[in-house]
Amino acid sequence: MQSIRSPAVAGLFYPAEPAALARMLDACMAGRADATPPVSRVLVVPHAGLPFSGPVAATAYASLQGTARPRRVVLLGPSHRVALSGLALSGASHFRTPLGDMPVDYPELPGTADGFVRLLEIGHQAEHSLEVQLPFLQRLWGADLPIAPIVVGDADPARIAELIAQVLEEPDTLLLVSTDLSHFHDYLAARRLDAETVARIESLAGPVTPEQACGCRPLNGLLAHCRAVGGRLLAVDVRNSGDTAGGRERVVGYGAFTLQ
């Protein structure tokens, strides 16, 4: 029996009308075609409203244009509205966006036996950090692409790293880690703070704090994974809302990274 997780931020963070949403996504992707980074199985992408963060996220997603469709996309994003510990899965059979319904298909995950990873629907109901990624994925590979959405609460980075390592053992899996950078500083202060955070991320120097990145928990898990198995995160686009679609008095920072 199907159970649908309805979109929480359609009409707010992105257009609710399918044609308008498709046009916005295509414009974002076309605008970043000249900055396409190397293809990667792991992307770090921002999650604000698409007029603000979409052009930055599109720099990472543009690298996937024309590539083979993944078997599954695993998404890790922070919990903005619900305080929780560990990692929250959804019991929905599909996640809906204006572009269609995406089947939920979780791989075997470590941490279910002791409750570190558990079913917690309330963690997903109003959460936008994963939802805003879905239209990009649908535009790349179709509405029926299988996804494994995971909301991350207070969690040990080493245990998140263990989950990431197991997920990436499966071939043809794409991993997305969702985070924005600094919040509500003036434009110049944000650029300075975000540059410092980017340097920490690229040098794998954790932990990153909530003041530096609102998705610091899943991000710190990815940094721990990189330190354990090798590889580095490369920033492919760093801007803020003052560069994309907002004023410069109080901005939000965005970064897109690929694992190399």
pTM for this model (two decimals): 0.96
Q: What is the domain extent for residue 192?
A: 31-259
Is 13 contained in some domain?
A: no
Contact between residue 219 and residue 201 where contact means Cβ atoms under 8 Å apart: yes
Beta-sheet pairing, 87-89 with 117-119: parallel
How many domains are there within the chain? 1
Is 19 contained in some domain?
A: no
Is 12 contained in some domain?
A: no
Token pair of 256 as six digits: 């897109």
One-character DSSP codes across the chain:
---EE--SSBTTTB-SSHHHHHHHHHHHHHHTGGG-----SEEEE--S-HHHHHHHHHHHHGGGTTSPPPSEEEEEEE-SSS--BSEEE---SEEEETTEEEEB-----TTTTTTSEEE-THHHHT--TTGGGHHHHHHHH-TT--EEEEEE-B--HHHHHHHHHHHHHSTTEEEEEE----EEE-HHHHHHHHHHHHHHHHTT--PPPTTT-TTHHHHHHHHHHHHHH---EEEEEEEEHHHHTS-SSSEEEEEEEEE-
Is 21 contained in some domain?
A: no
Is 210 contained in some domain?
A: yes
What is the full per-residue pLDDT of the chain (260 aa) written as tens digits? 689 999 999 999 999 999 999 999 999 998 776 666 778 999 999 999 999 999 999 999 998 988 999 999 999 999 999 999 999 999 999 999 999 999 999 999 999 999 999 999 999 999 999 999 999 999 999 999 999 999 999 999 999 999 999 999 999 999 999 999 999 999 999 999 999 999 999 999 989 999 999 999 999 999 999 999 999 999 999 999 999 998 999 999 999 999 99
Within 10 angstroms of residue 254's Cβ, the number of other Cβ atoms is: 28
Distance CA 61, CA 33 (A): 10
Side-chain-side CA neighbours of residue 241 (13 Å) = 21
CATH number at residue 47: 3.40.830.10
Is 238 contained in some domain?
A: yes
Task: Specify the residue for token string 């959460």.
Answer: 127
Is 15 contained in some domain?
A: no
pLDDT of residue 36: 64
pLDDT of residue 1: 64
Is 22 contained in some domain?
A: no
Token pair of 166 as six digits: 């197991």
